[in-house]
Structure 1
Amino acid sequence: MKVFSLFLSLAVASLGCSHAQPKVNHQIYVISDEAPGIGGSSEHDCGQEQVDCFERCWNADDRPYPHVKRDEWYYKYCTKKCREEYLECIKEREKTVQQAPKLTFTRMDSALDWLREHKTELIIGTVVLIAGVAFLIVIGGTGALLLVPAAI
């Protein structure tokens, strides 16, 4: 019995009382019924650009002199060339993310108003802090732009 009491007191001390825990808002907010033109949705897909680059390079009629056939050297050439373009694309995207403003609001209504007015500047997956609670910008199954609570 002493062991059980000790275990129970440790559990209560480590978890705290449930009424003392902050209430998490599990409500989902609709920013817009549609999501076309959302910032980030029209942004370059670096992975797809790399695939397209390789296909263009591999299928090109004019190959670097003196190579006239598609062989192992040419495969490595296209891979290297397109990898460099891919890394450049990734660097550009990182710069864009670093320049993005921090989205922090004190009230939900002011956050929703700002998000609706600036929806073309939003990037899917952006974390928005509203009164200390983290939310994510996502696209729902119906194509609506949503603000959902981040699950920890």
Structure 2
Amino acid sequence: MRMTQVAQRAMAVSLAFILVSCSAANYTAAGPASRQDLARYAIVIEQRPDGQVAHAWIPLKEFDLTKLQHTSSTAGARRSIMCAASGLNAYCDGRHDQCVSDCLKSSRPFVIEHRQYMDAKAQPWRIARSWWCPSNCMETLVDCKKGRGEWAEQYAAEFDEVAPAIDWLKKHRTELIVGTVVVIAGVAFAVVAAGSGGAALALAPMLVLAELVPGTPPGIQHSEACG
């Protein structure tokens, strides 16, 4: 029985990539106009003969997910969940280092996300800053990496999370198998087809799969996947 399932799965993947190749050839990497449109597209990543790795965004209305049903259903009950790195951690680390430096140099109580040293009578700022600055900058760093607070809000406004996530997928494509869930800018995508050696990869929004493919787990919240 197991060998039969493996053979069926391999056949499904092969058929999926025939579909993917035909579909991706007609689209570019332009993709959705905004994050709100992410769930309306499938993502195809493929290594070209010249070694370059390209990607294409395919509107779901033109990407026949029903042909991938067997591929998805044979992925198994266990699913890996990964968060496509968008640079937030590196950004938060940089803000933290700058925070500590600026705070320690400040001759007056430093403000960190509405927090300020107020107990100057008990201990003057010139002494208190040696422990207050590292402690409060660290608290803000932790919140930032969880996507909370002013730093994270400023990052979201300044950086496009989608493009770095696509770069991450290209670099990690050999690690992704059918059934893996990847969170991109808060939208959960499931790997519905994966070629050998990471030659090609296809991902579709989890919410759409839940509607089209019986037994697919419901959409996964960003906090659960990346917390």
Please give the range of the TM-score, normalised by the shorter of the 2 chains. Answer: 0.3 to 0.5
TM-score, normalization by structure 1: 0.40
Give the structure with the higher percent helix.
Answer: 2
TM-score, normalization by structure 2: 0.29
